Amino acid sequence: MAEATANGLGQHTLHGAQAHDPAATGIAPAEVHQEHPIKLYLVVWAWLFILSACSYLVDYVGLQGYLRWSLILIFMMLKAGLIVAVFMHMAWERLALTYAIILPPILVLVFVAMMVFESDYTLLTRTVFFGAEP
């Protein structure tokens, strides 16, 4: 819907016949202030404490293997999500900004995958040429 309108107006402009309706004059809407109830911040604060305590307990109790890893990653992503969404107000920003900021770091995962293969290969060559034990 919105894209169709944009295209229509864009072509309209190319032909040089521009109507002076206020929506098309290019004045940016007012900048919004991020004001939210204090209680929301306190709740998120408490949750960050709980999640940090949980991830610390994972190490304290001494969980190992996949359970340890999935728990650590889940707590980490929950904490990061809370900080970005509420403390940094990303949840109330427009989608254009959210995508511009959140998507690029996710692409780092491609880099991670490449380096996993690379370090596996390095480990293999080290094992082959220097022996299994250091």
Partner 1 sequence: MADTTLTHTGQAQPRPAGLQGVAADWSSDQRAFKNVSWGKAMMWIFLLSDTFVFGCFLLSYMTARMSTRVPWPNPSEVFALHIGGSNIPLILIAIMTFVLISSSGTMAMAVNFGYRHDRRKTAILMILTAALGATFVGMQAFEWTKLITEGVRPWGNPWGAAQFGSSFFMITGFHGTHVTFGVIFLIIVARKVWRGDYETGRPGFFTSRRGRYEHVEIMGLYWHFVDLVWVFIFAFFYLW
Interface positions with partner 1 (CB under 8 A): 1-2, 6, 9-10, 13, 16, 18, 23-24, 26-36, 38, 41-42, 44-45, 48-49, 52, 55-56, 58-60, 72-73, 75-76, 79-80, 83-84, 86-89, 93-94, 96-97, 100-101, 104-105, 108, 111-112, 115-116, 118-120, 122-123, 126-127, 130, 132-134
Report the nearest approach of partner 1 to the CB of residue 66 (Å).
13
Instruction: For the beta carbon of residue 11, count every other beta carbon within 10 angstroms.
Output: 9
Q: Computed from CA positions of residues 114, 117, 121, 122, in that sequence, does the dihedral angle turn out positive or negative?
A: positive
Please give the full DSSP string across 49-65, using - where no structure is assigned.
HHHHHHHHHHHHHT--H
